[in-house]
Structure 1
Amino acid sequence: MAYPLHVAFIWHQHQPLYKSCRSGQYLLPWVRLHGTKDYLDLIMVLAKYPRLHQTVNLVPSLILQIQDYVNGVALDPYLTAALTPVEQLTDQQRWFIIEHFFDANHRTMIDPHPRYNELYQQRQDKGATWCWQNWTLADYGDLLAWHNLAWIDPFFWQEDEIAQWFDQGKNFSLSDRQRIIAKQRHILSQILPQHRQMQDNGQIEVITTPYTHPILPLLADTDAGRVAVPQMTLPADRFQYPDDIDRHLRRSLHLYQQTFGRKPRGLWPSEQSVSPGILPKVAHHGFEWLCSDEAVLGWTTQTFFHRDERGTVQDPQHLYQPYGLKTNEGDMAIVFRDHRLSDLIGFTYSSMAPDVAAQDLIGHLEGIKIKLLSQQEDGGTALEKPWLVTIALDGENCWEFYQQDGLPFLESLYQRLSDRPEFELVTVSEYLQRFEVREQLPSDRLHSGSWIDGSFTTWIGDPVKNKAWDYLNAARQTLARHPEATEKANPAAWQALLAAEGSDWFWWFGEGHSSNQDAMFDQLFREHLAALYQALNEPIPDDLEKPLESHEVKETHPPQGYIHPIIDGKGDEQDWNFAGRITVGGARGTMHRQSLAQRLWYGVDHLNFYLRLDFQGTDLDAVKRMSGLHFFWYYPEQVLYNSPIPLAELPDQAPLNYLYHHHLKVNFLQQQVSLSQAIANYQWEDRQQGIQFCFDKCLELAIPWADLHVTPDWGLRLLGILTQDHCYREHLPEDQLLLLTAP
């Protein structure tokens, strides 16, 4: 029998509890804004293509907050400001508006709207203080309106009332803003009913997550962190409360049944985190399947998913099928997502033309099918077994970076998939109903890990993250000392605990991730814990009144996510927001001549690796009169030709006396860039290249991975050198090589 290639999209829709358990106030607006922009339109677009079926995960903490906004009982500071007459805005509110009402990707959500862009450019070019001193009441009124209008999804722009606001453009009154907020609430009110209807019609499957999105393996035992990282430094006190897993799952099931009139079949374990210890509890509550990441499968089976230069998995039969898990509480299936395909949608396709990106994804699916066919014994042209490619990712945050919130990309992709019978989009439960699971995984040997590197280092092990676990453990122990405070007798205490157990707080603590809301996430975590003590009539520890860490912007840090900057030499702050950065200027001290460079930025996506160099002062003409800038790198785990640095007056010291594989030269004076590669006998050979570069306010470079002929997951070490009159002047960074990895 011939089979199509089955594809399961799973969209993960999640927001943490922004409602403080202590004050009852919402501190951040992201449920309301993402609810207006991302949750409803995603399935409404799908509804236009009835042949395509997908799975959507709605996290309980998101559902609860949507219901609060729909019922009119949620009020956040952004909403309060928008509904305040501009003449009554306090000084504090005006500063808050100037600082936060441009919280959006400016290229896709601000620049397309002339009035919004005008205000944004004033803030960027003239500064917040100038805005404070010169903005009129009308300026504030328009900014309040546009911040909310920009978060209305383009799917709804053709509606008469919304189109009228876009045509109006400026001079928005309080009445206008009230009607805009009413439109937001109307869109929010359709999210849950539309999901229920499309699930009842069979086009989507809605699944759930533990109640407040906790890392279940770490609730069971924080020692699970040492499975992937044996030397991990753990919190001072071991957290072991496996019964809390049951509480999260019970509440999820109850809310789901209230909302959708049935039981869920699938579970998205928070952060796709699994361990042997959680499986019996998941099975006990009746879940039939759960999903995780290919890294977890790889660790479990001791398989590394090698990919070719195109990114196609070399042994696809291991990844593209569900596996069975047997527990003493029942059997389940587990699917593992293709990490690369998921990340392409989440982080890279937004930088490509929609049709090109859609065709690229189709090309990857074609490559998977060809690879599967090549491993069939009969050499036929049809698949002899039903395979399942799982693409699972965040369904909300990525669209902010796409043209028109991803609408052109999704319509182009869905049309192509609808026209190709060799691909069949299914829900996970549909696939499991039709086909038997062919292989089992030993449940007791399932790897304990998450979708990030197959480990839990994003949530534990860092000193600040560990401090947060210690705070949580102390609060949990306090609750355990109050046996009278049952979930029924003292629901406030348990609600506060479950809120604090959510994964999001630990995500932002310490190293690894940062945003301009870090201080607010810190505050929310501590307020949830304070509410627990308050509900038990226990004194609130003094530590909970102080932030866990300083939230000042760090001058030097590694990359925090994928980037895809526009190479225009402007150094746009949002383009490079998640890039790694190293401060160079002044690092050499008084014994060295002053560095011309000030800061080096670096990062990657699936298309390029990116470099940016900021220079000291404003005399960039002096910089351009230099001979140039050179970057050298090698691949430490690969057996390749490497050659010495071909520059004069080079000190004989590490890392200048290392051998390198690639050499990128930027000639400032001639405005040229060239690429060469090491060959035999320690020589260099020029290579064709499609490198983008621009030098205006700073130097920006985009080096295509395709020019380097590397395969995914290759690590590289990078060194920069500035030259004067074709001779070595200085290298950067001074005391280390930069480490990057091809996605």
Structure 2
Amino acid sequence: MAHPLYVAFIWHQHQPLYKSREAVADAMGQYRMPWARLHGVKDYLDLVLVLEEYPQLHQTVNLVPSLILQLEDYAQGKGIDPYLALTLTPEEQLGHQQKQTIIKHFFDAHHRTLIDPHPRYAQLYEQKQEKGIRWCLENWSNQDYGDLLAWHNLAWIDPIFREKDPAIQAWFDQGKGFTLGDRKKIIAKHRQIISQIIPQHRKMQESGQLEITTTPYTHPILPLLADTNSGRVAIPQIELPQRRYQWPQDIPRHLRKAKEIYTDRFGIEPRGLWSSEQSVSPAILPYIAQAKFKWMCSDEAVLGWSLKHFFHRDETGNVYEPELIYRPYRIETLYGDISIVFRDHRLSDLIGFTYGGMDVRHAVTDLIGHLDAISRSLVEREPGNETTLQNPWLVTIALDGENCWEFYQEDGLPFLRELYKRLSQDEDIKLVTVGEFLQEFPATETIAADQLHSGSWVDGSFSTWIGDPVKNKAWDLLTEARKTLAKHPEATEETNPNAWEALFAAQGSDWFWWFGEGHSSNDDALFDELFREHLRGVYRALNEAIPIQLYEPLEDHAQKADHAPEGFIQPVIDGYGDEQDWHNAGRIEVGGAMGTMHKASAVQRLYYGLNHLKFYLRFDFKMGVEPGKDTPNELHLLWYYPGAKVYTSPAPLIDLPDQAPLNYYFHHHVGINLLTQSVWLQQAWNNHEWHPKNSRVEVAFNQCLELAIPWADLHREPDAWLHLVAIFADHGKFRSYLPENRFIELQIP
């Protein structure tokens, strides 16, 4: 029997629990941040409304219980956050501090997609960027503030609602001159949109087009609640907290509360579980089975660890062993079987981090091309001489369903419609929910329960949430609070719900994500404060003395200097160094750093980052630097691949010091003439020769130098490491290099 290639999209909808335990009576509201509300009008309802236009396509959506509760607060008018409170404040009543807050935070959005398309919003943004906050405070009128307050709330409304609601389109047409009355109506429209989210999901689940899944109540890492020592499974040498957290009895509490919220809103019990951060371990399986969940989802890295198999990919990113990953597995427990599917990490990341920066048709063609390639590779593994799939294979694409769309034009609406239109016409690909696939094609391959790896979607480990000194400190504080609660057996969930709710909130994964190295945001200090607020709530509800440490920040939140990349980037290469574009890039401070070369360097700092298609470099020069006059006229990028069996050659420069890393032998060389911005690519060959190669390197030098180098130019396999050094030269004669005494290190995605 011939089968199409079955594809299961799983969209994960989640925001941290922003509700404060100490600001309920505050005039600025009980929600410390607005993101549940703003994503509520931009990302949750429209995603399924677009899908509803293509009824033959089925998908899975995960709604985190703590997100549902926040959305309901906003829909009912009970949710108030500082941004909303300021929006509803008459302009003439705004104080100096409030105006500063508005100027600083009401542009909190990706400006290329949410600000630049709207002339009045873009005008105010340019004034802030070019003239500064002080100028705005001295020169803006009440109307300027009124328009900014309105546009911040308008820009987050998804474009699909402009199509469906003339009142919303009228505000976009109006453009400026907004009054307090207009802003009140805009906020009312926010509540109206948010109030439709849960009913629309229920309606589409009842029609069979959607499957809704759930997550442990406040999005905790279940394996770490069971035992923080599980962090050593993937990284035996990891430095763990001083106090071991080991409270597996909290797992059924999170699962029970998740099921209660789900069944109340959707009228049935959930079958699928998105274990927070796709984290799993043998220890959590009995609790999931006892809660009668039938299936769960994790990442291909977890599958690889479980099978003791590394998934190799070709240089286009497609898996060499598709028969291992594109199928469900069964795990047997004493309380029943659990099916588990493993997502294709790369396809999920392409949607999440790369396609937003591409032309819509090109992006859709690329995604469907990958699915076609998967199908062909599976056909090749079918017995006999078949030309179609004779077995039911399932490709799982699972990712964050909200944050990625901010980087797409029109919030991803053109991309999704183009994708769904083509998939509707493709008889060889069928979109299904995970549940309906498993019902028709139950898992036949088995993973022993004790063989399941303990890990998450990030490298198959838990290092994103534990192991860093600051993260460990947070775990120690959580452990002490949990022990204090355990000393009060009279404090049950029924008799003292405040203590338990505060504990559940503090157990959420998001706080640990932002602590320490690895990730940062403009709100790190606020995440720190919210975590400690939740812990203080445990002690307060128990009438216990609150430890002094819970009034002190866990870390210094001043912006760190040198750091590694914190996420994928996709900057526009125009030579102007847009800070939003490079926010997640790695950074190396050069000007003022130690070292003889750095003292005289015209370069102040170096940024580097990547996505699945390219890697990027940015050189920030001192003000007024002219190539060929204040700095050498050429930049040479040379890199080698540790352990790779490839031809190598010395750098093609003269007067090169005989010292590492300049005396290494390299495989690729990109030269840039900084005066003409011309580029050439060379690859090492036999006998230490350099051969020219075709190149699609992008270069722009205006306020800074920006470069984008496609991975396709390098012809290296995914996961390979490259070590890069940047050398400045005059007509091929060495002058200086960056970074001093080391390489820039990147791993191809």
TM bucket normalised to smaller: over 0.9
> In the alignment, which residue of structure 2 is the partner of 1:391?
397
Q: 1:626 Cα deviation (Å)?
A: 2.3
Residue pairs, 1:84-483, within 5 angstroms: 84-158=89-163, 159-483=165-489
| 1:58 maps to 2:68 | no
Which whole-Å deviations, capped at 9, do the CAs of 1:38-95 have from their partners, x for residues lacking one? 0000000000001100000000010000011111111000000000001111222111
Match of 1:49 among 46, 50, 54: 54
1:104 counterpart letter in structure 2: A
Q: 1:312 Cα deviation (Å)?
A: 1.1
1:725 and 1:566 mapped to 2: Cα distance? 29
Distance verdict in 2 for CA 1:185–1:726, change over 3 Å: same
> In the alignment, which residue of structure 1 is the partner of 2:624?
618
Is the contact made by 1:627 and 1:726 (CA closer than 8 Å) also made in structure 2? no
Is the contact made by 1:637 and 1:714 (CA closer than 8 Å) also made in structure 2? no
Is the contact made by 2:597 and 2:740 (CA closer than 8 Å) also made in structure 1? no
Distance verdict in 2 for CA 1:593–1:542, change over 3 Å: closer
Q: 1:642 Cα deviation (Å)?
A: 1.0
1:418 and 1:619 mapped to 2: Cα distance? 54
Which whole-Å deviations, capped at 9, do the CAs of 1:429-457 have from their partners, x for residues lacking one? 00010012120001111000000000000
SS of 1:157's equivalent in the other structure is helix
Match of 2:675 among 669, 687, 690: 669
1:76 and 1:627 mapped to 2: Cα distance? 52
Distance verdict in 2 for CA 1:650–1:68, change over 3 Å: same
1:574 and 1:436 mapped to 2: Cα distance? 45
Match of 1:705 among 706, 711, 715: 711
Is the contact made by 1:628 and 1:722 (CA closer than 8 Å) also made in structure 2? yes
> In the alignment, which residue of structure 2 is the partner of 1:608?
614
1:601 and 1:209 mapped to 2: Cα distance? 37
SS of 2:233's equivalent in the other structure is helix
1:556 and 1:54 mapped to 2: Cα distance? 42
1:470 and 1:527 mapped to 2: Cα distance? 15
SS of 1:170's equivalent in the other structure is coil
1:236 counterpart letter in structure 2: Q
Q: 1:208 Cα deviation (Å)?
A: 0.1
Q: 1:671 Cα deviation (Å)?
A: 2.2
Residue pairs, 1:518-529, within 5 angstroms: 518-529=524-535
CA root-mean-square deviation: 1.1
Which whole-Å deviations, capped at 9, do the CAs of 1:484-511 have from their partners, x for residues lacking one? 1111100000000000000000000000
Residue pairs, 1:70-89, within 5 angstroms: 70-89=75-94
Q: 1:724 Cα deviation (Å)?
A: 3.4
1:590 and 1:290 mapped to 2: Cα distance? 56
Q: 1:123 Cα deviation (Å)?
A: 0.5
1:731 counterpart letter in structure 2: Y
2:671 counterpart letter in structure 1: K
Residue pairs, 1:547-696, within 5 angstroms: 547-589=553-595, 594-622=600-628, 626-696=632-702
SS of 2:196's equivalent in the other structure is helix
2:181 and 2:420 mapped to 1: Cα distance? 39
Number of aligned positions between the proteins: 743
Q: 1:587 Cα deviation (Å)?
A: 1.9
Which whole-Å deviations, capped at 9, do the CAs of 1:248-286 have from their partners, x for residues lacking one? 001000000111011000000000000000000000000
> In the alignment, which residue of structure 2 is the partner of 1:2?
2
Superposition TM-score, scaled by structure 2 size: 0.98
> In the alignment, which residue of structure 2 is the partner of 1:18?
18
2:174 and 2:532 mapped to 1: Cα distance? 43
Q: 1:592 Cα deviation (Å)?
A: 6.7
SS of 2:615's equivalent in the other structure is strand
Q: 1:625 Cα deviation (Å)?
A: 6.4
Structure 2 gap ranges (5+): 25-29
| 1:500 maps to 2:513 | no
SS of 1:228's equivalent in the other structure is coil
Is the contact made by 1:292 and 1:450 (CA closer than 8 Å) also made in structure 2? yes
Q: Give % identity.
A: 62
Q: 1:648 Cα deviation (Å)?
A: 1.3
Is the contact made by 2:625 and 2:631 (CA closer than 8 Å) also made in structure 1? no
Higher mean displacement: 624-633 or 313-322: 624-633
Superposed structure 1 runs of 4+ greater than 3 Å apart? 588-593, 621-625
Distance verdict in 2 for CA 1:703–1:624, change over 3 Å: farther
1:733 and 1:540 mapped to 2: Cα distance? 47
Higher mean displacement: 242-251 or 375-384: 375-384
SS of 2:54's equivalent in the other structure is coil
Superposition TM-score, scaled by structure 1 size: 0.99
2:194 and 2:629 mapped to 1: Cα distance? 53
Distance verdict in 2 for CA 1:606–1:592, change over 3 Å: closer
2:663 and 2:251 mapped to 1: Cα distance? 54
